[in-house]
A = this chain, B = another copy of it.
Amino acid sequence: MLNVIILGYGNIGVNITNALHTCDTVTVNQIVNRNTINPNYTIDSIPTTTNLSEIQEADVYIIAVPDDAIEDFSALLPFNDKLVVHTSGSVSMQTLDGKNKKGVFYPLQTFTKNKLADFTNIPICIEAEDSTDLNTLQTLAGAISNSVTVISSEKRKTVHLAAVFVNNFVNHLYTISEAIMQEQNLDFDLLKPLIAETAEKIQHLAPGDVQTGPAKRNDLKTIENHLHLLKDSPYKKVYEHMTEAIKKHYL
């Protein structure tokens, strides 16, 4: 049985806690959070505290605080020589304070508190300083996910960058699309089956093989019509830049 303590209880903390809590081979001993936790998100059998001096013993301490707080927070921990991991895609393992053993436990997914994720197929990228700790993280990650990958801090930065394109940037394109529809009193719901299918398609096919549209086929007439529709829109530039990028890629 692996004992873990969760430090930080935002979107990632809540989701990791719930996933680990439901598996037989892991016990979540305690949740530590700066503020008192909203009772909607607590789990009856897991004690919580806001006070770092009350922190208990565990095999693995999982830091799930904002990226820019990881370094300082890890230095505040009132113990030494324990395995302390963070959950960030973009922060180097070496950012963690040197008084403890360092590791990374990065679940590659977008989380919200209000919709608990099923971790079975969520890739978990792990990293540690030695093989003993790596084995521990392998066991921990393997308890909740079928997709565990050892990835260095350097490569993890690339994974996180690629994730920004398919998550943050894609979501902004959804936002723009919704705004364009709403401006003409059109229902954004009309586009949801297309959004779902676009994401579904590349689960099996290479995205480069299924690219379509006016930019891909250099259909200047349609592009011109679109730019005309967008003439006073703040989204015209995104249209122009994405069209240019697609043209360059294929022509």
Contacts and interface: CB of A to CB of B under 8 A. Distances in A.
A23 interface: no
> Could you say which of A90, A211, A222, A237 has the most chain B C-beta atoms within 10 Å of its C-beta?
A222
A161 B175 contact: no
A165 to B, nearest CB: 4
Interface in A180-223: 180-181, 183-184, 186-187, 190-203, 206-208, 210-216, 219, 221-222
Interface stretch (A35-43, A46-54, A57-65, A105-113): A105-113
A159 interface: yes
Contacts of A201: 110, 112, 115, 171
Please give the count of copies of this chain that the complex contains.
Answer: 2
Contact of A163 (B194, B219, B234): B194
Interface stretch (A1-9, A76-84, A225-233): A225-233
Contacts of A194: 108-110, 163, 166-167
Interface residues of A, number: 86
B241 A155 contact: no
A186 B93 CA distance: 19
Given A165-B173, A170-B195, 8 more contacts: A67-B219, A67-B222, A110-B194, A158-B229, A162-B177, A163-B191, A164-B226, A172-B207
10 contacts: A67-B222, A68-B219, A90-B222, A121-B193, A164-B213, A164-B239, A169-B242, A171-B212, A178-B207, A192-B202
